[in-house]
Amino acid sequence: MFTGIIQAVGAVATVAQKGEDARIELRGGDLDLSDVALGDSIACNGVCLTVVELAPAGFSVDVSAETFRCSAGFPVGLEVNLEKAMRLADRLGGHLVSGHVDGVGEVLQFAPVGDCVELVIRAPGDMARFIVTKGSITVNGVSLTVNQVGATDFSINLIPHTLSHTNLGSLSAGSRVNLEVDMMARYAERILNYSLETKVS
């Protein structure tokens, strides 16, 4: 489990294909790896991945074909937002994030508004119903608050700190981003649908 508060920005160093799967080596940037052990989980652009090798300046993970299918991918050179799994004693500065990406969105607009930036993203159609005004959403692993919602598009205001401490500052129109909706929305839908199904039966 994660909070969506990014701890460092790393980069994809190498990608070794193994059929449809791959082993990916990541440079850790400023991420403190002193307390990371093999088998630990680290969110990489919002994708929960397991550490399989450790190096002085980074770590390696195995990425399955399913993960590639559900995410925006990990090409060599890509800047990656990094967050270690939370401890029970940690502050929950963002919101509860599972690291299970729900889909890939497309950036429609990345426009400066004063010192901030308005980010407009088009979500996959089947995800749109889970996105609400003033609700939480995770974009490339970053916990953010939704400002406005359309049929499939939504907008977010990015403050200078977020722009300088994550890889969101390098986005532009056409960029693909990993999205995870607030898990509470999924639970609410399941409870509602279950109640309706039970009444019908």
Listed as own residue / partner, the contacts of 146-151 with beta carbons closer than 8 Å and 24 or more positions apart are 147/118
- Shared domain for 145 and 113, answered yes or no, is yes
- Shared domain for 63 and 122, answered yes or no, is no
For the whole model, what pTM was predicted? 0.91
- Shared domain for 107 and 157, answered yes or no, is yes
- Owning domain of residue 145: 103-183
Give CA–CA dist 121/171, Å, rounded. 11
Q: What contacts 48, CB < 8 A, 6 or more positions away?
A: 2, 41, 42, 85, 98, 99, 100
Better pLDDT: 91 or 86:
86
CB neighbour class for 154 (10 Å; exposed up to 12, middle 13-18, buried from 19): buried
Write out the two tokens for 36: 């990371």
Mean pLDDT, the chain, rounded, equals 93
Last residue of a domain, one of 38, 54, 84: 84
Asked whether residue 96 is assigned to any structural domain, the reply reads no
Structure confidence at residue 93 as a pLDDT band (50, 70, 90): confident
- Shared domain for 57 and 120, answered yes or no, is no
